[in-house]
Amino acid sequence: MKKNPKYKQGAMFAAAIILEVVFWIAVALVVFVISNALPGLRWANPQLFWLLLIGPVMLIIFMVTIWSKNRRLQKFSDYKLLPYLVPNISSVNSTMKYILVRLAMTFLIVALINPQLGSKMAEAKIKGIDIMICLDVSNSMMANDLEPDRLTRATRSIEKLLERLHGDRIGIVVFAGQAFVQLPITNDYGAGKLFLSGIDTDVVPVQGTAIGSAIDLAIESFDFESPAQKSIIIITDGENHEDNAVESAGAAAEKGVKVFTIGMGSAEGTPIPQYRGNQRVGFKKDREGNVVVSKLNESMLKEIAAAGNGTYIKASNAVVGLNSLLDELNTIEKTEMGAVAYSEYEDRFQVFLALALFCLVIEHLIRERKGKLAKSLNIFD
């Protein structure tokens, strides 16, 4: 009489657990030994290392599955035809199929993490243009028709602009009644963000809106010996315009410098808040005691942009316009600014992807039933 078939779950579990232990020892060796022995080794996506925890989950599922199959077989243990209905159950083949799937999953995860090895030096050409941003810091820029106020909205947009620049050089001029260079032209965007954090209405002691002086100072800040294309971006509400900014914009255009303007505020206007520390104490008033309403001077800003061969953009609470303006600036032919050397790593994920596919193909070829190899290993099967 044939013996009732069942899986040798004790031996199968032992084999699977030994594999899992060997796997995690291998992980430790790679992380702590091989990585130190190969200083050129790096991981493209180290944040995906947590996927390796899928292994213990697979082990638990495998053990539960085998246990469940054996339990179902035991329910029919008294059924004399069972050995004929379920012949040649192979614990060896089932274990081998699990091991191959487990290895394939490991190789796929390593391929996703993408080990990179064999760094080589490469050189990249840096191309860009020179941009000077003239930022109005007069008291009217504290008006709240743009949230939270015109000046804060402008500085935040400049920060976002810096995050999109690649190879361009940028400088910042702040102006009210006078103009000062806040940031000399540079490609150090980190410095640009640092200087932006210190901008407020107190950096220029003289109030007013000297746009022409800001344009003149921006032109002086350019290095005209450099062949790079040059542009000026003026961010202001245009109110209390004092000098001949249109004439200055025309002079810039004659030197090949385009002048763009971005209008901050609304045509209807809004009162200018006054603060004592961080506390608002009221609104600015004129000599007669009337509340001063700050309005956007769009007509003036359009004239300045036209004279400077540029364009005018009106800011809103949705967008200020610097990003769309940058898209326009990117259409300008860029000049080579120099070159930078960097390390280039070669991807090695292909090897592990091939190993994963190989394991899956072999797993597919192995039958669940006993073969010659399984029958010869009668200690296990």
CA-based radius of gyration for the chain: 36
State the angle between helix axes of 150-164 and 322-329 in degrees (0 to 180), rounded to the nearest 10: 40
- Whose tokens are 């921006």? That residue is 218
For residue 166, pLDDT beyond 90:
no
Q: Is residue 200 packed enough to be buried (19+ CB in 10 Å), middle (13-18) or exposed (0-12)?
A: middle
Q: Copy the structure tokens of residue 195.
A: 């200087």
Which DSSP string do the residues of 65-104 spell out, in sequence order?
HHHHHHHHHHTTTT-TTHHHHS--B-HHHHHHHHHHHHHH
Q: Where are the domains of the chain?
A: 9-114+348-376, 125-339
pTM value is: 0.59
Q: Per this entry, what is the length of the chain?
A: 381
CB of 315 closer than 8 Å to CB of 263: yes
Cα–Cα distance for residue pair 235/135, rounded to 1 Å: 5
Q: What is the pLDDT of residue 77?
A: 53
Q: What is the pLDDT of residues 58-100, one digit of tens each?
A: 999 988 888 887 777 666 655 554 554 455 677 788 888 888 9
CB of 208 closer than 8 Å to CB of 137: no
- Looking at domain 125-339, what is its CATH homologous superfamily? von Willebrand factor, type A domain (3.40.50.410)
Cα–Cα distance for residue pair 13/189, rounded to 1 Å: 58
Q: What is the pLDDT of residues 228-257, one digit of tens each?
A: 889 999 999 987 666 789 999 999 999 999
The pLDDT mean for the chain works out to 82
Q: What is the pLDDT of residues 18-50, one digit of tens each?
A: 988 988 888 888 777 776 767 677 788 888 889
Helix/strand/coil for 126: strand
* Own/partner pairs, 279-283, CB within 8 angstroms, 24+ separation: none
Helix/strand/coil for 262: strand
